[in-house]
Amino acid sequence: MAIQYRRSRSAGKGTRVNATHRGVGLSQRVGPLSLSTRGFTSLRLAPGLSWRSQNKGTAAAIGVVLFAFAVGWWLLAFAWQLLALLARVAWWSLRAIWVLVMVAAERLAIEVRARGAPGDAT
């Protein structure tokens, strides 16, 4: 058993600055995957459960594949949110256009009734 020192501070947008007894490094989290400048990959499997490896040989290849998967997953989630937002904007735009058409039709009907029927002498 040994005494270890580890300190981590957020640098924003999923980036952390990590200080340990071995030196200082950066790590970036993308979805459930975290990659560090010191060669570590960590994949969060469930709350409190993660898989961690140092990027050497096969572990490096696995880390790259997991990173690509995490980025793809994040892009898919982003695209889904964007699609949902665009659908909401389209729905509200169509509703606004429908209301404007109905208001214009009602005004036209009122104007026609006010003029009377053609050939009507009033």
Backbone phi, psi, residue 28, to 5°? -125, 130
Which residue would you say has higher pLDDT here, 55 or 84? 84
Which residue would you say has higher pLDDT here, 113 or 70? 113
Q: What is the pLDDT of residue 100?
A: 96
In the chain the first and final C-alpha atoms are separated, in Å, by 106
Q: Is the pLDDT of residue 67 over 90?
A: no
For the chain, helix (H) and strand (E) counts, in that order, are 1, 6
Q: Which of 53, 58, 56 is nearest to 33 (CA)?
A: 53
Q: How many CA atoms lie within 13 A of 107 on its CB side?
A: 6
Q: Is the pLDDT of residue 60 over 70?
A: no
Residue 96 burial (CB count, 10 A): 10
Which residue would you say has higher pLDDT here, 66 or 88? 88
Segment 83-107 mean pLDDT = 95
Tokens of 70: 């995490």
Provide the residue ranges of all domains of the chain, joining segments of one domain with +. 9-88
pLDDT tens-place string over residues 11-39: 778 788 888 887 887 788 877 878 777 77
- Give me the residue label for tokens 């606004």: 96
